[in-house]
């Protein structure tokens, strides 16, 4: 089992989690059997979004911090790949190191400013930083501006296979997702994770116990930003294109929506939320141009039935 929890072999969560991982591993075979590479590309997109939502979930689900600015870090990762490739740097490890260093610096500053506030203030400050970088990307006319920037060449991650192949890129994204999920699980079950969740449950009691709030929440904020940056690097290689829309407030809202739909405060919730939302978008948009009018009530229904999302409903069902 990927995450060693004290679950019975009869637990629906255990069987569903194992089935999800197995399906993800078999996606290339299913795509080949269907005779279309679209399914492989679509599954890669789901996995990349699940990585980004896992990063957001670390501060949203376990820290109680509602950030409307995490698309900023996805966009930073993507733009580092695009701009470096445009200037002749295609070494993927160098691109990743630059992206992580830049995102860590931005997240540190953003977090220090944002964590001085609570509630709606935190939401608005993270949104303001997000929009600042969005308009910065729009102003980069030498790198496409509002039209975006095509990638001349995908990242070279030697000795790994070239990312020009869809199969290699998919398995790289999947391996990254599983590593991120394991990291999040270990983190939230460590002393750091319990303190972080303690601030979410009762901040006054944690402060009285002598725990520094900003230090723990800022560490979680920076780590979540780095995970989203990794997703941005993979997103740029998936689409072979970067655009300011990656940093828009709508992109941040979509990440929150996936987290809430799948189930905040759970390891598999981001994967479930990303898969369900993207599949629904694909199916409904093919049926009618007014697909948002159908998707909205469906999301509202999930929110009314289970406050912990789809994965939370499964956990309650398993507990019964």
In tens, the pLDDT along 63-77 reads 889 999 999 999 999
What does the pLDDT read at residue 319?
60
Query: What is the dihedral angle through the alpha carbons of 171, 173, 178, 181, rounded to the nearest 10 degrees?
Result: -170
Mean pLDDT of 180-209: 91
Q: Name the token pair of 16.
A: 């569903």
The number of C-alpha atoms within 13 Å of 210 and in the hemisphere containing its C-beta is 0
**Distance from C-alpha of 130 to C-alpha of 124, rounded to nearest angstrom:** 10
**pLDDT of 166 strictly over 90:** no
Least confident of 12-16, 32-36, 48-52, 284-288: 12-16
Does residue 317 or residue 185 have the better pLDDT? 185
Q: Name the token pair of 108.
A: 């540190």
Collect all residues with Cβ–Cβ distance below 8 Å to 308 and sequence separation of at least 6: 263, 264, 265, 266, 269, 315, 316
**Distance from C-alpha of 28 to C-alpha of 47, rounded to nearest angstrom:** 13
What does the pLDDT read at residue 13?
67
**Distance from C-alpha of 233 to C-alpha of 102, rounded to nearest angstrom:** 13
- pLDDT tier for residue 252 given thresholds of 50, 70 and 90: very high
**Mean pLDDT for the chain overall:** 88
């Amino acid at each position: 089992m990927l995450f060693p929890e004290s679950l019975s072999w009869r637990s629906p969560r255990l069987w569903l989690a194992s089935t999800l991982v197995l399906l993800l591993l078999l996606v290339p075979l299913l795509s080949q059997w269907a005779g279309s590479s679209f399914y492989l590309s679509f599954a890669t997109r789901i996995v990349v979004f699940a990585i980004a939502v896992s990063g957001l979930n670390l501060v949203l689900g376990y820290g109680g911090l509602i950030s409307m600015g995490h698309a900023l870090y996805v966009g930073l990762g993507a733009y580092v790949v695009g701009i470096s490739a445009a200037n002749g740097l295609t070494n993927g490890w160098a691109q990743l190191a630059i992206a992580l260093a830049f995102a860590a610096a931005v997240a540190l500053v953003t977090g220090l400013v944002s964590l001085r506030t609570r509630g709606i203030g935190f939401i608005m400050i993270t949104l303001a930083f997000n929009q600042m970088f969005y308009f910065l990307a729009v102003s980069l006319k030498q790198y496409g501006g509002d039209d975006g920037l095509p990638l001349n060449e995908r990242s070279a991650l030697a000795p790994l296979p070239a990312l020009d192949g869809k199969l290699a890129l998919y398995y790289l994204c999947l391996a990254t997702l599983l590593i991120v999920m394991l990291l999040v699980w270990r983190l939230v079950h460590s002393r750091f994770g319990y303190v972080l969740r303690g601030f979410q449950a009762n901040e006054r009691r944690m402060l009285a116990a002598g725990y520094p709030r900003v230090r723990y929440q800022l560490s979680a904020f920076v780590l979540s930003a780095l995970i989203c940056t990794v997703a941005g690097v993979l997103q740029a290689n998936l689409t072979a294109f970067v655009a300011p829309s990656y940093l828009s407030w709508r992109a941040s809202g979509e990440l929150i929506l996936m987290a809430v739909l799948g189930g905040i405060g759970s390891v598999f919730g981001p994967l479930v939320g990303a898969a369900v939302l993207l599949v629904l978008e694909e199916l409904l948009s093919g049926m009618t141009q007014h697909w948002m009018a159908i998707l909205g009530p469906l999301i509202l229904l999930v929110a009314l039935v289970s406050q912990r999302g789809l994965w939370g409903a499964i956990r309650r069902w398993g507990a019964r």
